[in-house]
A and B are shown apart, each in its own frame.
Chain A
């Protein structure tokens, strides 16, 4: 049975990772194998570990979780010769608001990710993997357990995989509902059964991660890209994107567009073209007002900043980020006070509380924004919002504080008029 997709694919997509989406029983091992499945693993097992890592470096694949760190480089940091066990941890704690791609990769094509994990295992001499799935994806945990069982059943996981002598065990592990546990070291603490609080770095997980052993942590999409890279070569994958921004990625577009959904496009795809042609443009012919390019922690873009190619470096150049691919499109009817409030409610709720600026700052900002939105705003609040955000920025223990500060700073800077308008309405009302 073809599984009903959440959104119709667009003919403008470049479907590499999502090419099996929509096939009959796309989540089954049989469908996967019938469509290039495990070719990459068979190829990788003939390769030297260094060659696998080199291929990943060549692909210019960058981490799809949000930070965009070069994947091959990250793999090369794991000391392969360490006498300790090496672990692979898959970050499926997809919690960034606006982002909903990892769930599709797991739901429609779990074995692609499993193959990617196995290839990483070969490259790093790792024999155990933990798939850390956010607690809210309850159904996906069962789904992945079934997929893993199927892989074990047919010899794609467990002892002596496909007669290669390579052993690998993969386990699912449930998060308990904390955004913070998407931060890789907080995830590791949570995986170890502790309270999910980020760890001090260094040491980085590559050196001392899960149970103080060398650990590779990558996002679901990152692992899902590996089979294509090994199968077709890193150069082919890199060629899809722009320099240093290899391949395609899954963008999750939501908000004021006619065809919200998850679409796979090459890195460097023009943003406006994406919104207009793939996402179907803005309903009712209304004008674009703002775009959150890659999840709620990215600084917001004004309409006139959106005429750019979507790759890590272009977004960074204008002071934002490609992040986790969660694009939120907002039209001219959007009240940016409410946007700022909604974002801050999220971060105040999700702040782990470990460090002072984030714990107290997010809540204070939320309270100001709530009061403002409730009609109790004051002129000085606008400046205060910016100043308090800047007092958080760069001073918190982990990136969550920055993630809360950056969108707020950008909204207050770029859309001060929305705040002034609310103040003016308030005066009239009085």
Chain B
């Protein structure tokens, strides 16, 4: 137990940890000391002078954000002197701040507005000319309006410290001090938009949201990002059934305030003009729209006939659909159609991973563990590109707890900046690189090992054996690419018990039915079976959909309820934000087909299916209250003994700015990739 001190704030007796910052101690005790530049987790600035407080027996007002509490301290945070100092500082701030609140994006959510409302003067004594600078566009998604900037340096710090990018700085001095981007007049960065989110005023605005709406016209739907596997919560601002904005407004979820470019902006595929909005039937070389009823009838007839004559089904599920949909699909396949031929695009060797860890408890790391563990070892993965949140967690752990980071990768990675040791290896040589760190790792208190798709089969077993041999607590993350890659595996979209893998299905010449739910396996492949009846459920007319006999327009993750499991195995809830006309969720589509086929696969409501998952899927008996309240519940799908599976395992190699087939339909991601500051081009 840390040493404690007793102090008084506004007459309230308070006990606090010695050396804690006054502003934090006050907040923990329900006393708000206002501040612009102070931001939890970022370095201290003491620049805004809003947090000045009165401390008895000290002549001058003291800076609350840098003042460590001491025994016997008597503090007043709302005395007349303090309030009048705040009023004075706000008066200074408003001298050059344009009062364009009526059109400013931040109006209604602006910390400066709130502060002036609480402490500011009713009228201005400033009658001189304001300093004006024209607005600048720094990237497709970042605009900067310098006059609105109050120079709290939050953006500079979140970019440098939080993101590890450091694309923002300050130029000039005095009243013409200005935040500047790293390429003089444009940004070369992750385009994550953290600077916009953290800006207390409307100085940094988002290319996709600016001047579109007032904040209070939106409803805010907290759901899970549908892109990479990290499972960040994104809060979608919705107005008139249209997603206006993505951010993480309430800092809830495992990611707190973190979001990458995809989580923040890449929701725009939802309203892409090429979105499928009606079932389509192949007629010769073209498609014709048909009714849902006709589509279900045709599919059910064919499926029933093929099943009746013992024909061959091939079913390919998705990395993006919900656990409920994936569970229902495998149940449909195994129980409804009597086939074992079910698979999905596997991007990490979860099967061997779970098998290797069987018998252990506490071996699966959560995203939170990456922030608290003493050491992190990254093997064969570029986290900053493919798992930006995990990268952020490790970086935050380094900043806040001086965690030891190790990287064993083929090329330079962002973790190198924090790493105590970076080992460069040729692809396939990762385990040798890991071995070279043995002595250093043995000395760590505990360790999380994060590994990519380069480690498969025996490699996974060797890596786990290596972890076991260190003699310290070790947890693991097996990286998988997409928002529900992990759930797809856990729900059983795998060719166990002799089923066919994706590659085997595509290569077989005698498939009677190929049913693809939310995947694009024919992007770079062809289907060998000439007579297969192909059904595809998707958002867009993908390469795979183009080969289909029937294409069904599916709803995206932002248009449905259900659960997904992130790369660390944490189950979180999706919440429907909008509805796109003409589409149905994959669950409803599958349920309707089942009904049409007169199969009894249970009720296809997400909650009901999730109940069944909790009862039947290994390790998914997660506490409902956690999930229902928007929390992340870790799963423990170990001891399930997954036998070796056929088929290939390979990451799609997405960059920070791509997301499989989906990113092609995000204008914002394409604009970012094409912009001069677009990094990570492929």
Closest residue on chain A to residue B68 by CB atoms: A202
Bound CA–CA A370/B129 (angstroms): 12
Bound CA–CA A354/B177 (angstroms): 8
User: Distance (Å) between the CB of B48 and the closest chain A CB?
Assistant: 6
Contact of B88 among A352, A355, A395 (CB under 8 A): A395
Cβ of A213 within 8 Å of any chain B Cβ, yes or no, is: no
Interface hits, B150-173 → A, CB 8 Å: 150-151, 169-170, 172-173
Cβ of A349 within 8 Å of any chain B Cβ, yes or no, is: yes
Residue numbers of B with Cβ under 8 A of A are 44, 46-50, 52, 60-61, 66, 85, 88-89, 91-93, 95-96, 125-126, 128-129, 131, 150-151, 169-170, 172-177
The 7 closest A-B pairs by CB, nearest first: A353-B177, A391-B88, A360-B92, A367-B128, A363-B175, A351-B174, A394-B60
Bound CA–CA A360/B177 (angstroms): 11
User: Distance (Å) between the CB of B170 and the closest chain A CB?
Assistant: 6
| B-contact 0/1 string along A140-180, CB 8 Å cutoff | 00000000000000000000000000000000000000101
Bound CA–CA A356/B131 (angstroms): 15
Bound CA–CA A257/B91 (angstroms): 41
Judge whether B175 and A359 touch: CB under 8 Å.
yes
* Seed contacts A360-B93, A371-B128, A395-B61; 8 additional CB < 8 Å A-B pairs: A352-B173, A353-B170, A356-B93, A359-B92, A360-B92, A363-B96, A363-B131, A388-B92
Judge whether A368 and B128 touch: CB under 8 Å.
yes
Closest residue on chain B to residue A380 by CB atoms: B125
Cβ of A350 within 8 Å of any chain B Cβ, yes or no, is: yes
Judge whether B89 and A391 touch: CB under 8 Å.
yes
Bound CA–CA A363/B175 (angstroms): 7
User: Distance (Å) between the CB of B181 and the closest chain A CB?
Assistant: 16
User: Distance (Å) between the CB of A46 and the closest chain B CB?
Assistant: 43
Bound CA–CA A173/B376 (angstroms): 41
Contact of B170 among A195, A384, A394 (CB under 8 A): A195
A357: chain B residues at CB < 8 Å are 49, 88-89, 92
Cβ of A361 within 8 Å of any chain B Cβ, yes or no, is: yes
User: Distance (Å) between the CB of B345 and the closest chain A CB?
Assistant: 48
**Interface SS of chain B: helix, strand, loop or mixed?**
loop
Cβ of A200 within 8 Å of any chain B Cβ, yes or no, is: yes
Judge whether B49 and A391 touch: CB under 8 Å.
no
Bound CA–CA A353/B47 (angstroms): 9
Given A354-B47, A357-B88, A395-B49; A364-B126 close (CB under 8 Å): yes
Judge whether B174 and A395 touch: CB under 8 Å.
no
Bound CA–CA A357/B49 (angstroms): 8
Judge whether B125 and A384 touch: CB under 8 Å.
yes
Closest residue on chain B to residue A195 by CB atoms: B170
Judge whether B49 and A396 touch: CB under 8 Å.
yes
| B-contact 0/1 string along A381-422, CB 8 Å cutoff | 000100010010011110000000000000000000000000
Contact of A352 among B89, B96, B174 (CB under 8 A): B174
Contact of A200 among B66, B96, B174 (CB under 8 A): B66
Judge whether A178 and B173 touch: CB under 8 Å.
yes
Judge whether A363 and B95 touch: CB under 8 Å.
yes
B50: chain A residues at CB < 8 Å are 356
A395: chain B residues at CB < 8 Å are 49, 52, 60-61, 85, 88-89
User: Distance (Å) between the CB of B61 and the closest chain A CB?
Assistant: 6
Closest residue on chain A to residue B175 by CB atoms: A363
User: Distance (Å) between the CB of A244 and the closest chain B CB?
Assistant: 21
Closest residue on chain B to residue A196 by CB atoms: B173
Bound CA–CA A388/B84 (angstroms): 12
Given A349-B174, A364-B95, A395-B49; A356-B89 close (CB under 8 Å): yes
B96: chain A residues at CB < 8 Å are 360, 363
| B-contact 0/1 string along A338-378, CB 8 Å cutoff | 00000000001111111111011111100110010000000
B47: chain A residues at CB < 8 Å are 354-356, 397
| B-contact 0/1 string along A249-288, CB 8 Å cutoff | 0000000000000000000000000000000000000000
Judge whether A360 and B46 touch: CB under 8 Å.
no
Closest residue on chain A to residue B94 by CB atoms: A360
Closest residue on chain B to residue A371 by CB atoms: B128
B89: chain A residues at CB < 8 Å are 356-357, 391, 395
B52: chain A residues at CB < 8 Å are 395
Judge whether A360 and B128 touch: CB under 8 Å.
no
Contact of A348 among B66, B151, B174 (CB under 8 A): B174
Closest residue on chain A to residue B153 by CB atoms: A354
Bound CA–CA A348/B173 (angstroms): 10
List 7 A-B residue pairs with CB atoms under 8 Å apart, sorted by A's residue number.
A195-B169, A195-B170, A200-B46, A353-B177, A360-B175, A363-B174, A371-B128
User: Distance (Å) between the CB of A352 and the closest chain B CB?
Assistant: 5
User: Distance (Å) between the CB of A91 and the closest chain B CB?
Assistant: 19
Given A351-B175, A352-B174, A353-B173; A360-B95 close (CB under 8 Å): yes
A394: chain B residues at CB < 8 Å are 60-61
A353: chain B residues at CB < 8 Å are 151, 170, 172-177
User: Distance (Å) between the CB of B247 and the closest chain A CB?
Assistant: 26
Judge whether A397 and B177 touch: CB under 8 Å.
no
Q: Which of A180, A357, A361 has the most CB of B within 10 A?
A: A357
B60: chain A residues at CB < 8 Å are 394-395
B170: chain A residues at CB < 8 Å are 195, 353
B174: chain A residues at CB < 8 Å are 348-353, 359, 362-363
Judge whether A348 and B92 touch: CB under 8 Å.
no
A350: chain B residues at CB < 8 Å are 173-174
Bound CA–CA A362/B131 (angstroms): 13
Judge whether A367 and B129 touch: CB under 8 Å.
yes
User: Distance (Å) between the CB of B123 and the closest chain A CB?
Assistant: 13
Closest residue on chain B to residue A352 by CB atoms: B173
Q: Which of B150, B151, B173, B177 has the most CB of A within 10 A?
A: B173
Given A354-B47, A371-B128; A364-B92 close (CB under 8 Å): yes
A363: chain B residues at CB < 8 Å are 95-96, 131, 174-175
Q: Which of A180, A200, A362, A396 has the most CB of B within 10 A?
A: A200
Bound CA–CA A18/B47 (angstroms): 41
Judge whether B175 and A348 touch: CB under 8 Å.
yes
Closest residue on chain B to residue A350 by CB atoms: B174
Closest residue on chain A to residue B176 by CB atoms: A353
Bound CA–CA A97/B462 (angstroms): 71
Bound CA–CA A354/B173 (angstroms): 8
User: Distance (Å) between the CB of A64 and the closest chain B CB?
Assistant: 25
User: Distance (Å) between the CB of B76 and the closest chain A CB?
Assistant: 16
Contact of A356 among B49, B61, B172, B173 (CB under 8 A): B49
Given A352-B174, A355-B48, A367-B128; A391-B91 close (CB under 8 Å): yes
Bound CA–CA A105/B584 (angstroms): 84
Bound CA–CA A350/B172 (angstroms): 11
A178: chain B residues at CB < 8 Å are 173
Bound CA–CA A391/B88 (angstroms): 6
A367: chain B residues at CB < 8 Å are 128-129
Contact of B49 among A348, A355, A364, A371 (CB under 8 A): A355
Bound CA–CA A393/B85 (angstroms): 10
Judge whether A351 and B173 touch: CB under 8 Å.
yes
Given A355-B49, A364-B95; A180-B173 close (CB under 8 Å): yes
Closest residue on chain B to residue A393 by CB atoms: B60
Bound CA–CA A357/B85 (angstroms): 10
Interface hits, A220-260 → B, CB 8 Å: none
Bound CA–CA A330/B613 (angstroms): 88
Contact of B150 among A356, A396, A397 (CB under 8 A): A356
User: Distance (Å) between the CB of B423 and the closest chain A CB?
Assistant: 29
Judge whether B173 and A397 touch: CB under 8 Å.
no
Bound CA–CA A312/B655 (angstroms): 64
User: Distance (Å) between the CB of B545 and the closest chain A CB?
Assistant: 54
B172: chain A residues at CB < 8 Å are 353
B173: chain A residues at CB < 8 Å are 178, 180, 350-353
Closest residue on chain B to residue A391 by CB atoms: B88
B44: chain A residues at CB < 8 Å are 200
Bound CA–CA A359/B126 (angstroms): 15
Bound CA–CA A396/B95 (angstroms): 17
Bound CA–CA A367/B93 (angstroms): 15
Judge whether B129 and A361 touch: CB under 8 Å.
no
